[in-house]
Amino acid sequence: MANNGQTETAALVAILGERAAVNVRLALIADGPQWRLHHGQITLDDNAPLKERAWRYGTGSFLELCLPGTTIAALLKGDEQDVQGFHVVSPHPLSSTASVRRLRGQEEWSRLTTPWPRTEWTINRDTSVSQPSHDLLVGDGPSFLNFDQALSAFLYQRPYDHTTNRTDLWRIIQPQRAGWFQKITIGPDLLTVVVDGEGLDGAVLELSWAADNQARPLDGADTHRFALPGGLAHDSLLILRRKDQWLDWRSFPAPAHGRARDASVIWEQPGPELDLLLANGEGQHLECKREVPEGESRKKMLKTIAAFASQDGGTVLIGVRDDLRVVGLPEGVNVDKQILQVVGMIRDNLEPVPSYETRVIDHDGKTVLAIEVSGGGQMHAYRDGQRAEFYVRVGPNTVLARHHEIAAGFQQAPVATTF
């Protein structure tokens, strides 16, 4: 089964029309006496809890409710419908196809993550249609600075982030709970996985790597263990499948700069992992600091983080000397306060704030703080007073970006659009 493709909109209309009821979230823009649909999010899940909500403002409104499948099918076709006192119209022309994407468990896409795999269909709207105003929203609901902030809070309970904006008119989500990984723990010599699901008969759990693989049939939800005499091999793949169809999967690349982690994987082998990160020394993707820096040294570290974020990511290790000797954070320091200090430094000095993760690593009784910075495909500036400075990484050095490097960085940055 392909992970990406196209589905006819008419097929989705038929699926929705056959359902007695559908949970839906609607974002509407006032358009004279009627309300124009700006974004609709449909969940095809009979077990999903529904919390009915209605935020009503003069220029925009947000509804979460359960509607007959025929009503949602009509809206998807572009037919006008009366919904809870709102005369709702869809912008035209509507696309005849929807993009479909199949996602594994714990995979984030457009600000949404679920423990189980899911299938998502999206139908884009015509970007030439007028967009929401940027006026304050004050009315029968929480107050917001503008429509975009209200939409992000309503859908995701998260602050607005222009880098994740999309142009969906409709987003249809269908959970796939036949089989999924509830929890994965990786130790020095053992991988433990908790498998859950509603349709595991005939499924196979397999751990594969370059030199070999282990596979075992399943007959229901259970905990399974794979022996790792030599540790987890690089580029291993853990997959739950039925015949040639995957139900869920995780891959485990070698430790690398800016590696994103998911909540279902618990690593219990931080020592070997740190050794691998240090194997090649400081360079394009690694910077070491003896302790949380002050003064000019702090500026240098922040410039390096900006450079990592502006390119393809990197890791700053605090508690490691320049000669790669692991000395750990100073004794007696409060690690949580050290993390808050670093988070505050990044928030106050880098624009936009990059995507990063802080982790505490215990290495032979010494505590190391890792700042794993993801490359985001856009330039990030170090703010020195009113001046914004851009940096890149050249080998083990952080240097001011040249004009053509800055221009190239902005050209490849994703275009900001509204929901």
pLDDT of 376 strictly over 70:
no
Task: Give the model confidence (pLDDT) of 44-69 as tens digits.
Answer: 988 777 789 999 999 999 999 999 99
Q: Alpha carbon of 196 to those of 46, 126, 158: distances in Å? A: 19, 41, 28
pLDDT of 413 strictly over 60:
no
Q: Does domain 180-254 have CATH number 2.60.40?
A: yes
Task: Give the model confidence (pLDDT) of 186-223 as tens digits.
Answer: 887 889 999 999 999 999 999 999 999 999 999 899 99
CB within 8 Å of 143: residues ≥ 6 apart = 136, 137
The single residue listed with the structure tokens 């263990």 is 225
pLDDT of 34 strictly over 80:
yes
Residue 369 phi/psi, 5-degree rounding, is -100, 120
* Cα separation, 265 vs 191, whole angstroms: 10
pLDDT at site 2:
61
pLDDT of 417 strictly over 50:
no
pTM: 0.70
Q: What is the mean pLDDT of the chain?
A: 88
Q: Give the closest residue to 253 by CA, choosing from 231, 277, 236.
A: 236
Mean pLDDT (whole number) for 398-418 = 68
DSSP-derived letter for residue 285 is: T
Share of residues in the chain with pLDDT > 90 (%): 61
pLDDT at site 35:
96
Q: Alpha carbon of 392 to those of 195, 367, 381: distances in Å? A: 43, 29, 10
Residue 75 phi/psi, 5-degree rounding, is -60, -40
Does 234 or 163 have the greater pLDDT score?
234
Greatest pairwise CA separation for the chain in angstroms: 70
Mean pLDDT (whole number) for 83-112 = 91
pLDDT at site 166:
66
* Cα separation, 65 vs 75, whole angstroms: 15
Mean pLDDT (whole number) for 371-395 = 87
* Cα separation, 308 vs 356, whole angstroms: 10
pLDDT at site 415:
40
Pairing assessment for the beta strands 387-394 and 356-363 based on DSSP bridges: unpaired
Q: CATH number of 272-411: 3.30.70.100, 2.40.50.100, 3.30.950.30, 3.40.50.10860?
A: 3.30.950.30
pLDDT at site 364:
83
**DSSP-based three-state secondary structure for 1:** coil
pLDDT of 298 strictly over 70:
yes
Task: Give the model confidence (pLDDT) of 153-185 as tens digits.
Answer: 999 888 887 656 668 899 999 999 999 999 999
Q: Alpha carbon of 39 to those of 62, 63, 124: distances in Å? A: 10, 11, 9
* Residue-range domain boundaries for the chain: 4-175, 180-254, 272-411
